[in-house]
A and B are shown apart, each in its own frame.
Chain A
Amino acid sequence: MARILVVAEHRSGKLSDATLELCKAAKAIASAMGATPAAAVFYKDDSLANEVAKYIPEVFAVVDAKLEVYNAETYTEAVKAVVAAQDVKGVLIPHTYDGVDYAAKAALAIGAGIVSNCNKFEVQGGALVLTRNTYNGKIQEQRSIKTDKFVVTIEKGAFDKEAAGGAGSVAAVAATIPAPRRAFKEIVAMMAGSVDISQAKIIVAGGRGTKEKDKYNDVIVNLAKKLGGEYAASRPVVDAGWTDAARQVGQSGKTVAPVLYIAAGISGAIQHVAGMKGSQCIVAINKDPEAPVFNIATYGIVGDLFEVIPAVMAELG
């Protein structure tokens, strides 16, 4: 039977949470399409393949010293080898830094169509239909797969993690992995920074709508101080150098879940929302009434943050 194949993701021999989410996704998609779920694990030995077999019934292991560390080129070759050796209908890859680094290469290498950044699926008339966010999260797209084979990248958090407990089979797949033109050198840690915003009960976060550093300090930092909370930011604010990376909330920053999260001048793109959607109360202030941040806000204020925040400050006394 055709397979829905998860490509396991790992760094330093440690499986990512996204891999476990994809095991869950593969089971659901396979069941809806009359296929079977499976996983491919690329590593220097079969230890990780045995680990993945706890989560999914069938595992294909490509073992090669060149696969110790993730590499876009060796992964593309390994996907090609598994698809050539087995009956694979669909390939699921996490929509993560490493996943998007090779997913399109793999799709082209196996002659598959690709839909990226998906968060939901359904099967309509036998065809897989995937839901993804576009236009900065304002428009949802449902794209149906028309190709015989497909590659899908799946947003982190779209599916729950599969629990361990199974005892799947592990089969080796032979592959010749050529020496890549891209070579891994080392992993470097970024400075952690001195502040830990993840423990704060109240967070006031500013985005691009705060316009400039002085204004960000004026409204965001001051409101945070007034509320006895921490100030934070979306990535564009950190990119522009208005505040430290340690205060960045989102996929490439911190994940926070305070009692109160005030998002001012933040549009609410998925990259930011991923880091704060667990907050108990979310207040969104944005002058764009269509900003996706209002879709997750407990309270929304459509308006100019430079008018609204001073009014809130005055109200607080």
Chain B
Amino acid sequence: MNILVCIKQVPDAETVFGVSEDGTRVLIPGNAVYRLNRFDEYALEEALLLKDRAGARVHAVSIGSPRVESALRRAMEMGAHAAYRLDPGSGEEPQTIEKARLVAAWAAGREYDLILTGIMSEDSMSCMFAPALAEHLGVSSATAVMVLDVRQEEGMVVAEREIDSSRREVVTLALPAVLAVQSGINRPRYPSLSNVMRAKGQVIETASAARGTGHAAPISRFREVSARREGRILKGSPGEKAAALCDYFHEAGVL
């Protein structure tokens, strides 16, 4: 069984983001820490569990500049057999739907039985990648998957997906299929020392994913949300803040 895991590198959630003066770009400080998207770790772990149980081959792929290779390296340290970076060339970062098209064009013909990814990315938060990828590939998809059972001899996967806070639906999908896994489906592993050593010797392959000419003009304007605060920020030492808070509790009759 061949599994592809689509991963994204994102700036750490605690990064202090800014916005360019004209509002067209989000500014990420030069010293920002980039990580593997937390939601994609679950997809990777699910693939590695299938590797452990059924000897699946696990490949990781990501779109972006050479910077994203640290996320791909992390995937190999966790246990992926190979990692691929799709280089979109210069210009604006492709939007989610465009990324799905680029991955589909690359993955078509590579005979993956299963393609896994996280339910969303921490930065763009669109939740659109997996269904768009499936539509481009002409295969089935399911999102918010909490349980998956691959029955390769029957050519299908049984998946349980969340449909609200208290229910799941069970669906079957013909293979190949694209699944966006929900957080909490497993507990992602930490890289083992032997995998870290093995990954050091591995090469991340690069493929061009050029988008042709005429990139779309920017269509987004950004602004920082923190500018619109209404509440009161308590100042001082931890003790002073705690005292002020308890005063408010008593004044407001909360306690």
For the complex, what is the distance from the CA of A108 to the CA of B96, rounded to whole Å? 12
Binds B, one of A44-52, A170-178, A291-299: A291-299
Residue with the greatest number of chain A CB neighbours at <10 A, chosen from B124, B128, B187, B239: B128
Q: Whole-angstrom distance between the alpha carbons of A281 and B248 in the complex? A: 10
Bound complex: CA of A11 vs CA of B162, how far in Å?
13
Instruction: Encode contact with A along B120-137: 1 for CB under 8 Å, 0 otherwise.
Output: 001111111101101110
Nearest-Cβ distance from residue A102 to partner chain B, whole angstroms:
6
List B contacts of A134 (CB < 8 A): 26, 123-125, 222
User: In the complex, are the beta carbons of A101 and B184 less than 8 A apart?
Assistant: no
Least distance between B164 CB and chain A CB atoms (Å): 7
Measured CB to CB, the nearest residue on chain A to B19 is: A139
The proximity string for B residues 162-187 relative to A, scoring 1 for CB distances below 8 Å and 0 otherwise, is 11111111111110010000011001
- Report whether A311 and B162 are in contact in the complex, using a CB–CB cutoff of 8 Å: no
Identify which of A282, A290, A301 contacts B234 (C-beta below 8 A): A301
Question: A85 within 8 Å of B by Cβ?
Answer: no
The answer to whether A294 touches B233 (Cβ under 8 A) is yes
As a 0/1 sequence over residues 73 to 115 of chain A, the CB contacts with chain B under 8 angstroms (1 = contact) are: 1001000000000000000000101101111110111000010
Please give me the residue from chain A that is nearest to B119 by CB atom: A100
Q: Mark B214-241, 1 if CB is under 8 A from A, else 0.
A: 0010011111111011111110001101
A222 at the binding interface (Cβ < 8 Å): no
Q: Which residues of A contact B16 (CB under 8 A)?
A: 290
A72 at the interface (CB under 8 A from B): yes
Give Cα A109–Cα B131 distance, bound, in whole angstroms.
Answer: 11
In the bound assembly, the distance between CA atoms of A148 and B97 in angstroms comes to 17
Partner of B17, one of A105, A135, A284: A135
Q: With a CB–CB cut-off of 8 A, which chain B residues contact A102?
A: 131
Stretch at the interface among B77-85, B110-118, B140-148, B190-198: B140-148
CA A174 to CA B66, docked complex, whole Å: 50
Q: Is the CB of B254 within 8 A of A290?
A: no
Q: How many residues of B contact A (CB 8 A)?
A: 79
Q: Report the minimum CB–CB distance from A316 to chain B (whole Å).
A: 6
Whether A298 contacts B242 by the Cβ 8 Å rule is no
* Residue A312 interfacial (CB < 8 Å): yes
Selecting from A28-36, A59-67, A182-190, the interface stretch reads A182-190
How far does the Cβ of B149 sit from chain A's closest Cβ, in whole Å?
A: 12
Q: How far is the CA of A157 from the CA of B161 in the complex (A)?
A: 23
A192: chain B residues within 8 A (beta carbon): 166
One of A19-27, A161-169, A252-260 at the interface? A252-260
Q: Which of B15, B26, B158, B249 has the most CB of A within 10 A?
A: B249
Q: Is B54 an interface residue (CB 8 A)?
A: no
Q: Which of A11, A114, A294, A303 contacts B97 (CB 8 A)?
A: A114
Given contacts A116-B128, A144-B219, A294-B229, contact A235 B165 (CB under 8 A): no
Verify if A288 is at the interface (C-beta below 8 Å from B): yes
Contact (Cβ within 8 A) A182 B173: yes
Chain A residues whose C-beta falls within 8 Å of the C-beta of B171 in the assembled complex: 71, 182-185
With A187-B168, A315-B246: A259-B254 Cβ-Cβ less than 8 Å: yes
Contacts of A187 in B (CB 8 A): 163, 167-170
Question: What chain B residues lie within 8 Å of A76 (beta carbons)?
Answer: 135
Which residue of the partner chain A has the closest CB to B133?
Answer: A104
* A195 / chain B contacts, CB cutoff of 8 Å: none
Tell me whether B226 and A101 are in contact (CB under 8 A): no
What are 10 A-B residue pairs whose CB atoms fall within 8 Å in the complex? A101-B142, A104-B96, A107-B97, A117-B127, A182-B142, A186-B169, A187-B169, A281-B254, A288-B14, A311-B241
Binding site for B on A (CB under 8 A): 11, 69, 71-73, 76, 95, 97-98, 100-105, 107-109, 114, 116-117, 132-146, 153, 180-190, 192, 202, 227, 235-236, 238-241, 248, 251-254, 259-260, 267, 281-284, 288, 290-292, 294-304, 307-308, 310-312, 314-316
17 new A-B contacts, CB < 8 A, other than A116-B127, A260-B254, A315-B245, are A72-B142, A101-B141, A104-B97, A104-B100, A104-B132, A105-B132, A134-B125, A137-B225, A153-B127, A181-B139, A182-B142, A187-B169, A189-B167, A290-B16, A290-B17, A300-B231, A311-B242
Residues of chain B touching chain A, judged by Cβ–Cβ distance below 8 Å, are 11, 13-17, 19, 26, 38, 96-97, 100, 122-129, 131-132, 134-136, 139-144, 158, 160-174, 177, 183-184, 187, 216, 219-226, 228-234, 238-239, 241-243, 245-246, 248-249, 252, 254-255
